[in-house]
Structure formats: C-alpha cells, structure tokens
Amino acid sequence: MYDSRQTKELQKKTTGWLSIAKDPKHGDVNKKNIDELRDCLRFHEYRYYVQNDPLVSDFEYDSLYKLLEKFEKENPGSITKDSPTQRVGKGLIKDFPKVQHLVPMLSLDNSYNADDLLDFDRKVRELSGLDIIEYCVEPKFDGASISVIYENDLLSRGATRGDGEVGDDITPNIKQIRSVPLSAKFSEYGIEQVEIRGEVLMNKNNFKAYNDALIEEGIPPLANPRNAAAGSLRIKDTAEVSRRNLEAFLYHVSFIVGRKAAERTTGNDQPITHSGMLEMLWNLGFRSPKKEMKVLKGIDAVIKQVHDFEKERDNLGYEIDGMVIKVNDLKLQDRLGMTSHHPRWAVAFKFKARQGTSKLLAVEFQVGRTGAVTPVAKIEPVQVGGVTVSSISIHNEDYIKEKDLKLGDTILIERSGDVIPQIVKSFTELRKGNEKKIKFPTHCPVCNSELFKPEEDAVWRCINLTCPAQIVEGIIHFVSKDAMDIRSFGEANVRKFYELGLLKDIPGVYTLPWDEIKKLDGFGEKSITKLQQAIEDSKKQPLHRIIYALGIRYVGETTAKTLANAVDHLLQFADFTEEQLKELEDVGVKVGKTVYDFFHNKNNLRLLLQLEKLGVQLKNEKKEMISAGNLSGQSFLFTGTLTKLKRSEAEALVEKNGGSIVSGVSSKLNYLVVGEDAGSKLEKAKKLATVKIITEEEFLKMLPG
C-alpha cells in the first residue's frame, strides 16, 4: 500500500503536522493542505489497524485527529465523505433497513479430514479436466459475515449476511471498524463498483476484557467472540460499537462492475487469481489475509498446510474455526460455478470442534461469597476442544428463561479459547415432552434462610451473613491467585479446614492450629512448611490485592487498584465520605455505596484491625518507599501532555533517581504518569491491576527534595 518512499514522506509530513497540532496558531492550516493531514491520518490508521505496526503514539494520532476536527468545524465546506472524522455517527441509529446483496452470499461446503479434501480435489479435477489444481488456502475466520460495497472509490454500504439474499444495512457500524477504509482507489484497477465479503471479529484480548467487564457487572458473559462480534454489529449506538474495537478481514471479491478501458486513467490490470485479488485488496489498504494465505499446487500440499496451520490456531490473536481452500484461477472458478447451496470451487476445512452436544441432567444451586445463588447445570460429560465438561454455570433465572433450558434437554456447549464453557442453546425441537422446568429454590440450599431478590438485581441472594457457604467462599476468594495468592492453600483445603472447625473466618488463615493440621492425612512436614511460607509471604502483598481479597461487592481488580492509589493506609477509607469515593476514577454510585458501607461496618473494621495485628500489611508500601525519593526498581511511562515538565525532563528525572522508562503498557510497568488528554495507554493501564496510574503532581511528589 505504501512503499518506503511514501512512508518516509508521510512520516515527515506527520512531524510537521504534529508541531502545528502543538501550537495551531503558528501553523498554516488551509483547505489546500488539509487533504495532506487527512492522508497522514489514513496512513497511521492503516499502520495501526491493518499492519499492526504503528509509527506514532496514540497521543500523537489523537492530537492530529483533533486538529482535523477543529479545522473541519471551522470550515464545514471542506469535509470530504472519506475524511477520517466521518466514521463517527450522529445520534442513535433508528433501524437497519433490509438490503439485497449484489450477489447471494452462499456458504461453503464443509470438509473434516484428508479424505474429504481428496474428494473435493477429485471433483474439481474431473470437472475441469486438469491434472493438478492450484489452490489458495487461507484461515476460516470465526466471526460475523459481512459484505461491503465501494462505488467510485467510496465505501457506500455495509451489510450483514442475513439469509444470504437479503441482509441488514449496517453501514454506520461498519464505519466504526478502522481496518475497513472509507475510500480505496479501485478506479486504478478500472473498477467502478465492487462488492467484497469478509468477516468481522472481536480479537481474543478484547473479548476477554469485554467478558470480564460483564462478569464484574454481574451480567452473564458471552459464549464466544463470534457472538460478541455479531451482537456488536447490531448495536444502535455507533459510539458503543466503536468502543468494542472490532476488526475485519476481507477475503472475497464477489462482484465487479468495470470501467470502459477508454475511460481509464491508470492501467493496473485486474487480478486473474484469487490470491491476486487478496493482494489487490491489501494494496488498496484492506486487511485481507494476504500474509496468512498460501498458494499451493495439488491437494497433498493443501492437506499438509491445513494441518500445519491448525497447530498455530491458539497463537493467533483472533479465533479461526478452520481453513478455506479456494481454486485460485478466477476463470476456472467461473467455469466450475455453484450448486444451489455452495460454490464448487471452494471448500471449508473445519478444525476440531470446540462445541459439543450433551444432556442437561440436573441443576445444583451454589451459594457464592456475596450470597448470590448460582444455578450450575450438571450435564452428561462431553469432550469440548480436548477438555471434559460435566458441569457448567447457568448464571441466573433470567438466563435460564432466555435460553429456554429444561431438565432433560439436549444442549449445545461451546468452549472458546481460554473462556469457561458456556451453553449456547437448547435443542427445543428434540424435546420428547418429559423435560422438566428448572425450579429455583425459595430458601438457601446451605443455611435454609429465605432468599431475596432486589428488584434491580438478576440474582437471588441469601442475606444471612453467618451462612457457612458465604464464609467459606469468602475465604476461598481471599486466598485465591488474583487476591492474596496463597499458593498451596487452595479451595479444597479451605473447605476441609472449615468443616473440621480449624478455620472459621478470614483472620483464621493467619492463626491456623498447625498441631491439629499435622495430624491430618496428606499434611507432611514439607507441605506444611510450604503452606506456612505461602501464608507468611501473603502478609506483604500490595494493598490493591488486599482490597480485592476482601471481596467488597463490585470491587474488581481494577477498582481495587484505583482505591489503593487513593490512600496511604487502608483504614483511611473509614474517614471517606461517599462523595469523596465517587470522585475517584471508575467509582460510580454503586461502587461508592458498597465501599462506603464496607468501611463503615464495625465488624469489617474489626476484621481489618485483626489482620493488621496478625502482620498483614495494610499500609500502601509502594507509596512509602517512593516518598523516600528512591525510584529504584520502579518502571515509568508518561502519556498525554505534561504541563510542568517536558517529557524528556520527566524521563531524565526518573532515571536520575534510579527508576527506568519502559516503552509500553504491560505487566512490567509500575507507574503510568498521566498528563492531559491521555489516550489508549491510559485505557490499557486501567485494565492491568499492577499498574499504578498517577498524575504529574503525584509524580513530582515522589521525587526527593
């Protein structure tokens, strides 16, 4: 798309625009050169979203984008349809009109093994009369299928697959996908109108973050990134669609209207192979599978390639469910044509299923640490992607209704990547009539007190604070990996110690009767020493882990980190008002109230004092160490505009005081120093519990003198 000369030139122009963005007064922004700014922004979008190799920081991109926005606001007449600012939608979408695809969106025939592929190849050879066929092999992306149309080089429509003939016009949402260009120079290939098919995806990282956020909100997570992508495309608020960070691969040119040769200005020939089409799309700025595809002669090489690629499946950033094998020669594709359902020139090779069918045998009700009663389905054990699943959370009563689940139902299970298995659906058409309704209990299955359901809540709760289930679950959470991380403790030991009366509550973790424990089976000297050491080590965990470990409602790892940053000692929260809590980033009404209630409850304060007495560190250790002016061992990253220091001065100060500068947000980063208008680094850091987010003032206070 951009050769090295163009890249250098655009990078040079970018530097110029960045200095104008810093101080627009000195820059000469006019209608004539504003196109150059747009070109720079498109170039950086391409580097970031298509090539995954950005050349400017998010902050720099944002400052150029804001400059363009400012200029366009002052000169509305200058706005072009494909300006990077034109992705943003206005208001909510009313509905998605039905539209006819230019060419029906057929699906592919499936194959599952080498024999199926040999069969496919035999048919192609017979029909074509050729001895050996050239194939293009590419990933089968597991997302939501779309078609996009470009007319006179502009994106004019984006649609869902629908029934294959008619889909929904979702153009405003397609424009939120930054790897789909708003314009592309198809005219250089003599193309006036083109329809392209592709797949919209939510990558694995974004999917995990999205599901984690749902879980933190108490909303059932989605079964797979495919559902997340498909659901996102149907949202009527384009700003929310934009926040979902969708991606798209475009892999098939399905329809072309050409321009007469005489009218053509430049003479790029239209490709005559499928791989050539993918190359053309890539050169025009699309994310096509150019780098992932392989052109191979003969089916044996294809069989090897699909098996080789399957091994890479888990290393990819996005989900694929197989490979697609396409006859590469477009003329031959035409000759082969289609059956009523599938093209004869392509076949999908499906990888081992991560889905399986099973039977819903029973439902057990478990009481969690917040008293929430969660139904757990016991199912006929089934292998899903190499793991045996026999029990699966079905979240709450609404979820059971929504999925229409009954005891005895045949159900579809999916395990997507490292996400916990989910029920996709029940096969209601297979019911025999003897399936039974799932009855929710009215009383706690553990302590038998009456269950309650607040109106705004989706879950039934046991509100008896002395309910053994809540106490045990609370301790299990306290010692767990993401909380105090007491490695050799584990769920089973907590349950065992509790049942034997050796452990009654959280402080009890630090006063275990070792003489009694020594008498138990499986507790030799070695394992006891290991457990004692792990318990001792946990006393020095950073404050945010302790906050998270306390299991305050709605306080996930991110909020725990925000809270830890706000105090020098945990008990200071006892003096915070609800208003003060709500001033903290990410703390809204709901969290503010539960945190306030927690630190204004006598029993909780007593528990914290008890923990401190037992040696658990409730001070914000990091803060203390830093106030001594020693940054050694601490890593820093600056984002946004600093107001008191130049970025280079700030970085030099870090290094002078023994700290180090890192280039990106990762688990290696200790402090993100946030200036004005911070962008995506801040967003990323918020998701990492280990990163402390501080202001420039806070940073200055950390320095000596």
Active site residues: 140
In the complex, what is the shortest distance from the CB of residue 353 to ligand IVH, in angstroms, rounded to a whole number? 15
- Going along 597-654, which residue ranges are E strands? 635-639
The string of DSSP codes covering 523-587 is --HHHHHHHHHHHHHHTT--HHHHHHHTT-TT--HHHHHHHHHT-SBGGGGGG--HHHHHTSTT-
In the complex, what is the shortest distance from the CB of residue 83 to ligand IVH, in angstroms, rounded to a whole number? 30
Which CB atom, from 252 or from 692, has the smaller least distance to ligand IVH? 252
Q: Near ligand IVH by CB under 6 A, which window of 152-160, 343-351, 359-367, 432-440?
A: 343-351
Residue 108 binds ligand IVH (CB under 6 A): yes
Judge whether 428 and 403 are in contact, CB under 8 Å.
Answer: no
Q: Report the distance separating Cα 702 and Cα 693, nearest Å.
A: 13
Residue 140 binds ligand IVH (CB under 6 A): yes
**Among residues 42, 44, 197, 692, which is the contact residue for ligand IVH, using CB under 6 A?**
197
Pair type for strands 144-151 and 154-160: antiparallel
Judge whether 319 and 85 are in contact, CB under 8 Å.
Answer: no
Torsions phi, psi for 173 (to 5 deg): -75, -35
Residue 107 binds ligand IVH (CB under 6 A): yes
**Among residues 45, 199, 247, 414, which is the contact residue for ligand IVH, using CB under 6 A?**
199
In the complex, what is the shortest distance from the CB of residue 121 to ligand IVH, in angstroms, rounded to a whole number? 17
Q: Report the distance separating Cα 548 and Cα 555, nearest Å.
A: 7
In the complex, what is the shortest distance from the CB of residue 354 to ligand IVH, in angstroms, rounded to a whole number? 16
In the complex, what is the shortest distance from the CB of residue 642 to ligand IVH, in angstroms, rounded to a whole number? 45
Residues between 377 and 406 with contacts to ligand IVH, criterion CB under 6 A: none
Residue 244 binds ligand IVH (CB under 6 A): no
- Range list of H helices, 145-284: 171-174, 204-216, 225-233, 238-243, 274-283
Q: Near ligand IVH by CB under 6 A, which window of 104-112, 206-214, 488-496, 591-599?
A: 104-112
Pair type for strands 346-350 and 110-111: parallel
Collapsing DSSP states into helix, strand and coil, what is residue 133?
A: coil
Q: How many residues does the chain have?
A: 705
**Among residues 45, 58, 60, 138, which is the contact residue for ligand IVH, using CB under 6 A?**
138
Which CB atom, from 224 or from 464, has the smaller least distance to ligand IVH? 224
- Output the CA torsion sign for 659, 663, 669, 670: positive
Around Cβ 260, how many Cβ atoms within 10 Å?
Answer: 8
Residue 675 binds ligand IVH (CB under 6 A): no
Q: Near ligand IVH by CB under 6 A, which window of 92-100, 105-113, 149-157, 481-489?
A: 105-113
Tell me the angle at which helices 4-22 and 31-45 cross, rounded to the nearest 10 degrees.
120
Instruction: Please work out the total of residues on this chain that contact ligand IVH, with binding judged by CB under 6 A.
Output: 15
Torsions phi, psi for 268 (to 5 deg): -65, 130
Residue 348 binds ligand IVH (CB under 6 A): yes
Tell me the angle at which helices 225-233 and 204-216 cross, rounded to the nearest 10 degrees.
80
Residue 159 binds ligand IVH (CB under 6 A): no
Residue 287 binds ligand IVH (CB under 6 A): no
In the complex, what is the shortest distance from the CB of residue 254 to ligand IVH, in angstroms, rounded to a whole number? 7
In the complex, what is the shortest distance from the CB of residue 41 to ligand IVH, in angstroms, rounded to a whole number? 29
- Going along 429-560, which residue ranges are E strands? 451-452, 461-462
Residues between 289 and 328 with contacts to ligand IVH, criterion CB under 6 A: 324
**Among residues 191, 346, 608, 691, which is the contact residue for ligand IVH, using CB under 6 A?**
346
What Cα–Cα distance (Å) separates residue 605 from each residue in 55, 67, 114, 602, 682? 51, 51, 65, 5, 33
Residue 507 binds ligand IVH (CB under 6 A): no
Largest interatomic CA distance in the chain? 95
**Among residues 1, 55, 106, 424, which is the contact residue for ligand IVH, using CB under 6 A?**
106
**Among residues 49, 141, 186, 210, which is the contact residue for ligand IVH, using CB under 6 A?**
141
In the complex, what is the shortest distance from the CB of residue 386 to ligand IVH, in angstroms, rounded to a whole number? 23
Q: Near ligand IVH by CB under 6 A, which window of 73-81, 106-114, 237-245, 684-692?
A: 106-114
Collapsing DSSP states into helix, strand and coil, what is residue 144?
A: strand
**Among residues 44, 87, 101, 252, which is the contact residue for ligand IVH, using CB under 6 A?**
252
Which CB atom, from 146 or from 379, has the smaller least distance to ligand IVH? 146
In the complex, what is the shortest distance from the CB of residue 346 to ligand IVH, in angstroms, rounded to a whole number? 5
Residues that bind ligand IVH (CB under 6 A): 106-108, 138, 140-141, 145, 197, 199, 251-252, 324, 343, 346, 348
